[in-house]
Amino acid sequence: MGGGIRLSHPRWLTTFEVHHGQVEKYRHGRVFLAGDAAHIHSPAGAQGRNTGIQDAANLAWKLALVVTGRVGADLLDSYHDERHPVGAAVVRMATKQTAIGTLSGPRRPCATSCCPWSGTSTRSPRPSRRDRPR
């Protein structure tokens, strides 16, 4: 970018690597997986905590009904069916957002101007005619 900044003598260098994945089943007998134990992905999109909380909420009310004897234990089978597709969608989207956000080279300007959430754009948006002061 030609900013004239030169960095030298770093005290510490590190790399960032993104891991992503999802377990096949959210239930294994009496063991239930939720949140990061069930799905792991990049922080892009900031959906990890919310997804984990939603997993826990979905499971909590079902466990409460089963433990108190109001419904049969087969209700717990629906936890995987309801939450696995949500986790899969979050992992897919976060992976795509990370790929766009970490583009470099000639494709980077396109990513930042076409997808403002993917990184910082150097171009400021031009107001439309109706948004301009009169």
Burial class (CB in 10 A: 0-12, 13-18, 19+), 132: exposed
Question: CA 45, 85, 100, 103: dihedral to nearest 10 degrees?
Answer: 110
Tokens of 10: 């770093």
Q: pLDDT by residue (tens digit) across 80-123?
A: 999 999 999 999 988 888 888 877 776 655 555 555 544 444 44
- 73, 95 in Cβ contact below 8 A? no
Burial 29-49 (b: 16+ CB within 10 A, else e): eeebbbbeebbbbbebbebbe
CA distance 56 to 23: 16
The alpha helices in 9-107, defined as continuous H runs, are 48-67, 78-101
pTM: 0.66
The pLDDT assigned to 132 comes to 46
